């Protein structure tokens, strides 16, 4: 009597993204590959991903090369788009839910800073030069 183990995909969060992983040959990325693609989706550099994962930047570079091949992409942006399409990664929607629940979300938006420096006209500069400097 043979028993076949069924391994369902596992999910975890990395760099603000939900990652789905599976065993090799399952059509899903391995956990390290999922971490790398989530890091790329978050806009992290390969060095930053390596620091978060606790591995060498060369290891991350090798994973990126593998992901580009698996996802038939030429650039990181294309790999991220394809990983999103395949459901390998997804953004955490908590921020979207909270902003949808807040009726005053528009009022809480970041406003550009106001000018705090007083504009100085050229006539004021000239009078300061004329009266305060021995070289004017």
Q: What is the 3-state secondary structure (H, E, C) of the chain?
A: CCCCCCCCCEEEEECCEEEEECCCCCCCCCHHHHHHHHHHHCCCCHHHHHHHHCCCHHHHHHHHHHHHHHCCCCCHHHHHHHHHHHCCEEECCHHHHHHHHCCCCCCCCCCCCCCCCCCCCHHHHHHHHHHHCCCC
- State the pTM of this model: 0.64
| Burial of 40: CB neighbours in 10 Å, binned 0-12, 13-18, 19+ | buried
Q: How is residue 68 written in tokens? A: 């580009």
Distance separating alpha carbons of residues 114 and 37, to the nearest angstrom = 39
pLDDT class of 2 with cuts at 50, 70, 90: very low
Give pLDDT tens digits for 20-59: 999 888 889 999 999 999 999 999 999 999 999 999 999 9
Whole-number Cα distances in Å, 117 to 32, 87, 102, 120, 125: 50, 50, 35, 9, 15
Q: Give the pair of three-digit tokens for residue 66.
A: 């593998």
Q: In this predicted model, what pLDDT tens digit does every residue of 92-133 receive, in sequence order?
A: 865 555 556 665 655 555 666 666 766 666 555 555 555 655
Structural domains of the chain, ranges and CATH numbers in brackets = 10-92 (1.10.10.10)
């Amino acid at each position: 009597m043979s028993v076949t183990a069924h391994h369902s995909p596992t999910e975890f969060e990395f760099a603000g993204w939900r990652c789905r992983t599976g065993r090799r040959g399952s059509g899903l990325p391995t956990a390290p590959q999922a971490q790398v693609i989530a890091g790329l989706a978050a806009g992290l550099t390969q060095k930053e991903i390596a620091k978060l994962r606790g591995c060498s930047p060369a290891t991350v570079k090798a994973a990126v090369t593998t992901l580009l091949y698996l996802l038939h992409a030429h650039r990181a942006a294309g790999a991220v788009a394809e990983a999103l399409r395949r459901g390998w990664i997804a953004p955490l929607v908590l921020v979207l839910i909270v902003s949808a629940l807040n009726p005053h979300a528009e009022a809480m938006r970041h406003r550009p800073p106001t000018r705090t420096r007083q504009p100085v006209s050229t006539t004021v500069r000239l009078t300061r030069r004329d009266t305060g400097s021995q070289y004017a």
